[in-house]
Structure 1
């Protein structure tokens, strides 16, 4: 009996083995299909991670080792699948179980690898820091000698510290930006570090900015910062440029090694003070004002030569105006900007008289500069436009201000005329920005979407504010850790800007009695978590309160009593859980709760009948109480993001211009579309889909919901679209996405699509029912003449782009197809397993603008271009094989994981390579020929396209086996090849 138990266990083990053996034998084909599906999912995830990787590489990051290993694991699984596919058709009866075991193990391993491919902490780590920042620069006028002197000191060994001094606006920063760029080109140093110091010197901010330029994370303990910076800087040969230094400081306290001839480091400071430069131990060079001739030339460059010199008797007047600028480039450029287009000599003489009066009546160099610059401000001759300029002074020094944010602030403050529509106010805002830039009162920021204020012009703005009697407290960007003391909160304060500081709490003992305060800006105090209840008690006149990008957990209940509040901005307060009652805030026009952590709409929100702007987004907020939306009859901007919105309710918002959000049910969207009678919002980003979906899985549709004013986009997810019913679409629709809509057959079934005039982007994913994109047998939508990007992914039954009706004769066919996608620039095809041929030759002839083609993981793909073969000299009536070059603008051709691909194109058809930048061919083992039409030299020999960056090839063996029409093509292209 004692042996019975082990015997039973052995028999059970043998039985399990036998069962698994028979099961693997019997279910081999079923398991292979399962493995194919798992590999398909895995490769799609691989593509997504590769996209994330490419983005990080462009940011100078380095891919993590674990991610590289994950890619190797995916490649190994693809190799396993290839082996299985080869063995399956020829496997013997006895070896089926063995192959089945291999497939079963592959399924389990593919599942595990898929789970590992999340990488929530990112796919890359910080790589080597950039050498430095290259600046946009203007031509120098008159500072060439100064530049050469500084450049000589930096290249030599005698001078380690250089001081560049001169009055504000004389061109110190401009000269140093030229030198910064020149150093980067010369590559003599490991690092060029540029830091703006500004008037309010702050040791901590300086250290943080240096660390940021080095792409280095400082320790948590601030006491360790000098040592940490010293250690990393001592490993580099650097040039450090500290712009706009106002007071002496210790290099040792900051953590900057003293530049010596031994270490070869250089330090340059710019300052308005000769004494500051000298006290820092610098070799000092003073930037002098421009000569009269240089000043006049600079003025003409900015006002326009023809504008001045072609007007009789004007030149002398202009020269006298330029003299009043004192040789300061900033003043010259600013006044030239506001005089552009003026050709009346009487107006020029009046300007000269005004400037003479200003300069005579002031004392002190700074005030003299301000009065000269203030001339451009005065010539705006529009009080609201002038106040728009002055408002920019509330931002920190050298701060890049987002254009959209600035215009929103102007609207909140009532500085933009209250037009009937928000669009009209945006137009007005753009006009004001353009005027301020043309008058050189603002300049372009770090990119086209941002503007900056020169520090001298900011000083002038604050000077004007004070001189006309306004009371502002501006301590923006000063790295304050504590709120200014109560003694600084004067009773007559009108605006307070404390943005971009490090204030962590507002204590209970501070309760400013500021009854006239209308604007309080506390945004970008990321460490601010707590605001006392008493803080707002005596601010009952407050109209604009901005707490965005702070860490506050609760909005104090005292905010409930701010009955004059017009704008309450809590954007990106991602820890905010509680918002006090808003019932009394009946004047509120803007409520921004984007990216907060609230789980219910604020109490009393239904009383806010004057709202024109409402933004609600929180992961925990999914429902908007029924009946609330129609109460906001004046809404112009509505962004509810993940909230389910009711079609009939939204349709009652007759003034709505910008809309983003979700319709959980298609019926809600249809009700909305029918109720608005074609009066769609100007801009929208709408997703339509079943409530059964977890929308967090579809966050790739939502990242731009933050700025819906930039879009005209619809996304349908898991909807029954394309049936007989007429789905109404906006006429101005520019982006259409369709995902998991399995009854959807083709774009031609969308009856109203032919009325859409501006569709430029279309994406179709995971729709099992679609067999073609356009069906010419249907008359509703047979042409997409403006579409520029078409993305098709995971469409298992898609077999052709354009289906031609059988009854259509060949001549008609040839005339119709080329017009299909005449504006198409990008075509992406992923995991479409039934597609054998991508283009017909007739369709291809209409794709004259196509620039990017990506075909990935399409297992059945045999030809990219399906064309008739032609033959030379084979019997009577044979045609001559004359090469036809297609795709004249093609920049990228990427063909990956196409095991059946045999032909890119044949029949004398060649792909033009004149504009080619990137060619990628991976795992296309049956492809033997690359038919590229290369550009030719004068001697008739082929050459590499001048735009060609790289050619990515899967294996060296395959590349060596490729056939070419021109024997020299391979030699010409080989230097650009990299193998993966």
Structure 2
């Protein structure tokens, strides 16, 4: 923080203004930041004494574990390396809990002799302790933590967004529950915190900075987050990057025309304007398979992704696509997710015969709940396995839910469905519902047709909400449901 936060949060501070009654507890690791924000008498909070640190360390690791090591000197030396900082004591203590004596010795040697990077504002000993804790995570949990470092500092990180990046880029198995488990491991290791909102997490800035350094420098991951204006940073070798998050400020493409990124498999592009991106912009990413476009409001007139023949996962988040022709999509897509986007009045998707997952969700405050599709849009997706349109859809020129149900029943490979159905009429003879392995279905009456379906935030495998209907074809779903509302 380098700016005056009092003005930012609306607290008047002026010698001529009576600010009596306004009290703010302001904390920072840098005294200059406190002084910049009018703190006249900063209080220096010291680190824990050795005895206090050992008490905390013993409580975290457990007295039984420490006694089993039968080496008080080793335990004390490891604790000393945490420099009396509670964050480091918790991280290192949880990383070594239940570990063997030899691993404790390895950890001490690492903390004493390791060659660590210098990061502005972070003591090298703090870096060593956090890195030790990160390296002791299971591989998938470590991957999730490194992905979290791509988000801005102090941001609330949506677990749903984390799942999108982790599974969409195929950096880990495509199971939501696995990611939730990895998040729990990060929390239990004191490497992540509860976010401000339900379903969100945060990273301490020291943990984030160390994780970002590891994600950048380790060739196994080769992640990079870069914020740039109208030109590319010259001191970064983009050619070896595997996952790139680019936050583009301004209207120009920041990449050189002759730039080639053969190893890049995932691109997260966050920008408002794409008008001045050249038509060959995406051709430099010949091998990537995952693309996320976020907050794009203006697309070039002839914008197309059809040159990306290896692209398999496309996510569009908070984009304005109401004027876009989606025939620009490559025909080999396996997954298409459109979230919180300003949609066209009539959404027309190309004939994506290889598409396995389709997710469409409009703006949260949109007056139109249902997604309006061009006829045969869904029935043409013959390979679809996952369909998620939480607030339902209808066809232009045919508003009956029976037409919608018939099209869904024709998807023979469908195993996962999330949708809202109004005026439900059962599809006689269908085996669709018996094939579903995961579902989140709301069946409502005419009087509820304009209400917006709020999906359960907690990832539930089988959820049913049925209002005013009872049909034999729904019975199997109701019986198997983990959560049922009538």
TM-score interval, normalised by the smaller of the two chains: 0.7 to 0.9
Matched residue, 1:646: 404
CA distance in 2, matches of 1:276, 1:352: 39
Matched residue, 1:495: 243
CA distance in 1, matches of 2:362, 2:458: 13
Question: Do the aligned residues in 1 keep the contact of 2:274 with 2:299 (CA within 8 Å)?
Answer: yes
Task: Give the 3-state SS of the residue equivalent to 1:458 in structure 2.
Answer: helix
Give the TM-score of the pair, scaled to structure 2. Answer: 0.79
TM superposition shift of 1:315: 4.2
Q: 2:200 aligns with which of 421, 441, 450?
A: 450
Q: 1:299 aligns with which of 43, 50, 57?
A: 57
TM superposition shift of 1:392: 0.9
Task: Give the 3-state SS of the residue equivalent to 1:568 in structure 2.
Answer: strand
What count of residue pairs does the alignment treat as equivalent?
461
Matched residue, 1:658: 417
TM superposition shift of 1:700: 2.2
Answer with 1 or 2: which has the greater Rg.
Answer: 1
CA distance in 1, matches of 2:200, 2:355: 30
CA RMSD of aligned residues (A): 4.0
Task: Give the 3-state SS of the residue equivalent to 1:432 in structure 2.
Answer: helix
**Cα gap change, 1:210 to 1:553, in 2 (>3 Å):** farther
Q: 1:271 aligns with which of 29, 45, 48?
A: 29
Give the TM-score of the pair, scaled to structure 1. Answer: 0.42
Q: 2:128 aligns with which of 365, 368, 371?
A: 371
Does residue 1:334 correspond to 2:58, yes or no?
A: no
Matched residue, 1:685: 441
Matched residue, 1:841: none
TM superposition shift of 1:597: 2.1
Task: Give the 3-state SS of the residue equivalent to 1:678 in structure 2.
Answer: helix
TM superposition shift of 1:689: 6.0
What per-residue deviation string (whole Å, max 9, x for no partner) do you get for residues 734-788 of structure 1?
Answer: xxxxxxxxxxxxxxxxxxxxx68767533xxxxxxxxxxxxxxxxxxxxxxxxxx
Does residue 1:592 correspond to 2:350, yes or no?
A: no
Q: 1:410 aligns with which of 153, 160, 166?
A: 166
Question: Do the aligned residues in 2 keep the contact of 1:642 with 1:661 (CA within 8 Å)?
Answer: yes
TM superposition shift of 1:458: 1.0
Deviates more, 1:293-302 or 1:594-603: 594-603
Q: Which has the higher helix share?
A: 1
Matched residue, 1:44: none
Q: 2:144 aligns with which of 373, 379, 388?
A: 388
TM superposition shift of 1:626: 2.1
CA distance in 1, matches of 2:276, 2:184: 41
Matched residue, 1:236: 19
CA distance in 1, matches of 2:33, 2:42: 10
Does residue 1:615 correspond to 2:360, yes or no?
A: yes
CA distance in 2, matches of 1:210, 1:512: 45
| Structure 2: stretches of 5+ with no match in the other structure | 395-402
CA distance in 2, matches of 1:632, 1:547: 26
Question: Do the aligned residues in 1 keep the contact of 2:352 with 2:380 (CA within 8 Å)?
Answer: no
CA distance in 2, matches of 1:731, 1:448: 31
1:476-491 equivalent positions in 2, closer than 5 A: 482-483=229-230, 485=232, 487=234, 490-491=237-238
Matched residue, 2:66: 308
Matched residue, 1:568: 314
Matched residue, 1:355: 108
What per-residue deviation string (whole Å, max 9, x for no partner) do you get for residues 142-163 of structure 1?
Answer: xxxxxxxxxxxxxxxxxxxxxx
**Cα gap change, 1:544 to 1:368, in 2 (>3 Å):** same
CA distance in 2, matches of 1:461, 1:300: 26
TM superposition shift of 1:332: 1.0
1:456-605 equivalent positions in 2, closer than 5 A: 456-469=206-219, 471-475=222-226, 482-483=229-230, 485=232, 487=234, 490-492=237-239, 493-498=241-246, 503=249, 505-506=251-252, 513-516=259-262, 517-523=264-270, 528-534=272-278, 535-552=281-298, 557-574=303-320, 576-604=322-350
CA distance in 1, matches of 2:179, 2:483: 28
CA distance in 1, matches of 2:377, 2:37: 68
Question: Do the aligned residues in 1 keep the contact of 2:96 with 2:104 (CA within 8 Å)?
Answer: no
Task: Give the 3-state SS of the residue equivalent to 2:430 in structure 1.
Answer: helix
TM superposition shift of 1:536: 3.1
TM superposition shift of 1:454: 1.0
TM superposition shift of 1:579: 4.0
Question: Do the aligned residues in 2 keep the contact of 1:390 with 1:461 (CA within 8 Å)?
Answer: yes
